[in-house]
Chain A
Amino acid sequence: EPEVTQTPSHQVTQMGQEVILRCVPISNHLYFYWYRQILGQKVEFLVSFYNNEISEKSEIFDDQFSVERPDGSNFTLKIRSTKLEDSAMYFCASSGPREPQHFGDGTRLSIL
């Protein structure tokens, strides 16, 4: 069964550094999402992406965050200048129209 893959599984970065989290969605999906989960807290929506543009974003998704679909397969989340509070599990998901979202296994981001 096709699946969403995320790399790396764990990223350790110094505060203030840029980080790029990568996702390969399921190939025929059109809708892409990023979520984050701070340790011990709920999963939170960050951003959704459709037709090569952001369709929805949360208040968390400020100017430090950006998303890109640089080619036909990858979907990336960039954090420009990481802060301690960016430490979390980041999940990518994809779906077709009116279908369940398929989640990747997540990237654990640790900011030192």
Chain B
Amino acid sequence: KNEVEQSPQNLTAQEGEFITINCSYSVGISALHWLQQHPGGGIVSLFMLSSGKKKHGRLIATINIQEKHSSLHITASHPRDSAVYICAAFSMEYGNKLVFGAGTILRVKS
């Protein structure tokens, strides 16, 4: 069983659509990260959260600690949002390190 699971694996959306990417994890965590990886390979940290909700521009991340689940939402999606979105969990039960999901490949068409 994967420690951090993401869904969907692939997502194609039309420009302007509301997008949701889901992440579930199997142990208690101290923080969950949402990361963005562009085709060139570089990784950008979008959010780190341990409870509730965070918002940055058109991006919103939520986490439900009891359900061990987090979501990343993109409002009014744009082709420049096309990237791989990765969640990663930080937990002492994982050995005090980040454990990464497989990523969701998002393509936003104009």
Q: A residues near B, CB below 8 A?
A: 33, 35, 37, 42-45, 48, 55-56, 58, 89, 91, 98-106, 108
Contacts and interface: CB of A to CB of B under 8 A. Distances in A.
A89 B98 CA distance: 17
A103 B43 contact: yes
Main SS of chain A's interface residues? strand
23 contacts: A35-B98, A42-B100, A42-B102, A43-B43, A44-B100, A45-B97, A45-B98, A45-B99, A45-B100, A48-B97, A55-B96, A56-B95, A56-B96, A91-B43, A98-B31, A100-B33, A101-B48, A102-B45, A103-B44, A103-B45, A105-B40, A106-B41, A106-B42
Nearest to B6: A42
A108 B39 CA distance: 13
Contacts of B42: 103-106
Contacts of B23: none
Given A100-B45, A101-B33, 7 more contacts: A42-B101, A45-B99, A48-B97, A56-B95, A58-B95, A100-B33, A103-B43
A103 B101 CA distance: 16
B106 interface: no
Interface residues of B, number: 22
A81 B12 CA distance: 42
A56 B98 CA distance: 11
A56 B97 contact: yes
Given A42-B102, A99-B48, A100-B33, A89 B41 contact: yes
Contacts of A33: 98
Contacts of A98: 31
A1 to B, nearest CB: 11
Nearest to B99: A45
Listed from nearest, the 9 A-B pairs whose CB atoms lie closest are A100-B48, A103-B43, A105-B42, A43-B100, A100-B45, A45-B97, A42-B100, A106-B41, A42-B102
B99 to A, nearest CB: 7
A39 to B, nearest CB: 10
Nearest to B4: A42
